[in-house]
């Protein structure tokens, strides 16, 4: 059997990229760049493009740039929704990507996940402008006003953050009452000094969790101190939390009977520091996280915290908006039903012996 003509291979590459939504986050290249990317001659790339134009897969704008032909989009239903999330390793981000991708699959819609490193990336502006809808998971640094305005002018939803006051529909995963449930669990166990650990890069959501902890302490007369050492962008907050707790224990300054971590990595790092120093998490000191990440429930000890809630209802509203020509209706702040509190082995009643006795074990 004769090998397929090279221009057919180039056509297949372009069609695959359209199907997967590659051209939502990057423009369709011209013939010379296509030739370089696919390892063919300029004339071969030009023939492939000409054939795709004839088949109404591509359309050429008056400026000469290429775009996907509207009729081809209707026929093949390529990816039209983009999920943008920060480019750093995180089981939590992986979990959220999986939740959104699975929802899109159930709806029969293709989703294009894409990572970004900073808010000024050109791909952020281009993908938001080209997609029918965009889900953005934010990271630490504030969103620049020019990008915020760009988001407002297109169909953008922020996942795990609250930018409703800026006019952007937002999904806040954990309501105030959910966050309070973690702290109330520790109070009901009998803890009267609960410190807060934060090693996550500060953002609107992290600030909210810390503010809730402060107000809760004031409302219930709970003692406590904030231990705040945000990890630099795109670094692991687990390591910072480990060092922070290690220093507290080594200096015998871990006076709280319980710690609530703003995120799961902070709890994991603190638990490891305790383990290495002979402090039993649960019997000697309780450590909980506001939200859990896989596989926190299977750790030894299992970690107390909030499971990620079911996002079906809120995502349905967002995707319905993406598919319509209507403006957003109703409140721009969406919260799923209350998240279930997982009561792990990392939280227990306060020890009867003093912290000094626990430290003496080390």
pLDDT digits (tens, 9 = 90+) for 109-128: 889 899 999 999 988 898 89
pLDDT digits (tens, 9 = 90+) for 146-166: 999 999 999 999 999 999 999
Is there a single domain that holds both residue 167 and residue 314? yes
pLDDT digits (tens, 9 = 90+) for 12-63: 888 888 777 777 767 788 889 888 888 989 999 899 889 888 888 888 988 8
- pLDDT of res. 12: 87
Please tell me the distance from the alpha carbon of residue 65 to that of residue 48, in angstroms, as a whole number: 15
Q: Which residue has the higher pLDDT, 284 or 14?
A: 284
Is the Cβ–Cβ distance between 289 and 198 less than 8 Å?
no
- pLDDT of res. 9: 87
224 confidence band (pLDDT: 50, 70, 90): very high
Which of 52, 75, 98 is the last residue in one of the domains? 75
Domain residues for the domain of 181 are 176-308+341-360
Residue 317: inside a domain: yes
pLDDT cut 90: percent of the chain above it: 64
Please tell me the distance from the alpha carbon of residue 96 to that of residue 90, in angstroms, as a whole number: 10
Can you give the CATH number for the domain in which 23 is found?
1.10.10.10
Q: With a cut of 60, say whether residue 253 has pLDDT above it.
A: yes
Q: Which residue has the higher pLDDT, 204 or 312?
A: 312
- pLDDT of res. 3: 43
Distances (CA, A) of 296 to 178, 235, 272, 344: 18, 20, 13, 9
Residue 13: inside a domain: yes
Q: Which residue has the higher pLDDT, 310 or 75?
A: 310
Q: With a cut of 90, say whether residue 198 has pLDDT above it.
A: yes
Which of 40, 59, 75 is the last residue in one of the domains? 75
- pLDDT of res. 55: 87
Is the Cβ–Cβ distance between 132 and 111 less than 8 Å?
no
Helix segments in the chain, DSSP class H: 6-20, 22-25, 31-38, 42-54, 70-76, 91-106, 122-130, 145-152, 176-189, 204-220, 237-250, 264-276, 312-323, 355-360
- pLDDT of res. 361: 44
Is the Cβ–Cβ distance between 304 and 342 less than 8 Å?
yes
Residue 325: inside a domain: yes
**How many domains, the chain?**
3
pLDDT digits (tens, 9 = 90+) for 304-327: 999 999 999 999 999 999 999 999
Is there a single domain that holds both residue 192 and residue 298? yes
Overall pTM surpassing 0.85 (yes/no): no
Arithmetic mean of pLDDT over the chain = 90
- pLDDT of res. 182: 98
183 confidence band (pLDDT: 50, 70, 90): very high
Is there a single domain that holds both residue 266 and residue 180? yes
């Amino acid at each position: 059997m004769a090998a397929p003509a090279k221009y057919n291979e180039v056509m297949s590459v372009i069609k695959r990229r359209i199907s997967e939504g590659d051209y939502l986050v990057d423009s369709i290249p011209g013939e010379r760049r296509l030739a370089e990317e696919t390892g063919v001659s300029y004339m071969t790339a030009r023939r492939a493009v000409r054939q795709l134009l004839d088949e109404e897969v591509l359309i050429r704008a008056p400026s000469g740039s290429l775009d996907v032909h509207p009729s081809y989009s209707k026929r093949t239903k390529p990816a039209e929704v983009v999920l943008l999330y920060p480019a750093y390793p995180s089981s939590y981000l992986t979990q959220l990507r999986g939740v959104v991708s699975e929802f899109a699959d159930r709806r029969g819609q293709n989703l294009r996940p894409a990572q970004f490193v900073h808010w000024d990336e050109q791909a952020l502006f281009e993908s938001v402008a080209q997609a029918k809808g965009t889900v953005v998971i934010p990271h630490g640094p504030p969103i620049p006003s020019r990008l915020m305005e760009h988001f407002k002018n297109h169909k953008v939803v922020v996942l795990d953050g609250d930018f409703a006051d800026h006019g952007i529909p937002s999904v806040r995963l954990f309501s105030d009452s959910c966050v309070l449930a973690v702290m109330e669990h520790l109070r009901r166990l009998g803890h009267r000094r609960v410190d807060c650990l934060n090693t996550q890069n500060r953002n609107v959501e992290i600030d909210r969790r810390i503010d809730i902890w402060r107000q809760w302490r004031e409302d219930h007369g709970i003692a406590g101190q904030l231990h705040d050492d945000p990890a630099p962008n795109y670094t692991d907050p687990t390591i910072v939390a480990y060092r922070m707790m290690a220093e507290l224990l080594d200096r015998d300054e871990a006076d709280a009977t319980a710690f609530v971590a703003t995120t799961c990595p902070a709890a994991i790092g603190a638990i490891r520091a305790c383990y290495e120093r002979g402090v039993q998490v649960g019997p000697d000191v309780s450590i909980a996280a506001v939200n859990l990440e896989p596989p926190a429930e299977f750790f030894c000890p299992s970690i107390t915290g909030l499971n990620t809630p079911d996002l079906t209802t809120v995502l349905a509203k967002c995707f319905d908006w993406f598919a319509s020509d209507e403006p957003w209706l109703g409140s721009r702040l969406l919260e799923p039903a209350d998240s279930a509190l997982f009561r792990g082995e990392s939280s227990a009643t306060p020890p009867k012996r003093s912290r000094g006795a626990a430290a003496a074990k080390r």
